Amino acid sequence: MQTVLLTRRRLALGGLMALLPAARALAADPAGLLLMAGAGYKRPVEALCADFTRDTGIAVERS
C-alpha cells in the first residue's frame, strides 16, 4: 500500500516538473492580458485597458 502511494506521488511530481518549462514560457510571453471584470466596471476598465495598452504595447482582452 505504501509503495503504491509513493509511486503515485512520484508520477504526480514528475508530471508537474515536466509542465514547469511550459508554464515559464507562457508566463514570459507578453502577447496579451485577459482581464475579467463585472459589467458595472465597464467604463473604468476600458479606460484602464486603453492606458495600459498605450503605455506597454500589450493588448488587453476584456471578458
The answer on pLDDT for 5 being more than 60 is: no
Q: How far apart are CA 25 and CA 16, in angstroms?
A: 15
Beta-carbon contacts of residue 31 (< 8 Å; ≥ 6 apart): 58, 59
Q: What is the pLDDT of residue 17?
A: 66
Q: What is the pLDDT of residue 57?
A: 85
State whether residue 59 is helix, strand or coil.
strand
Estimate to the nearest angstrom the gap between the alpha carbon of 21 and the chain centroid: 14
Q: What is the pLDDT of residue 38?
A: 83
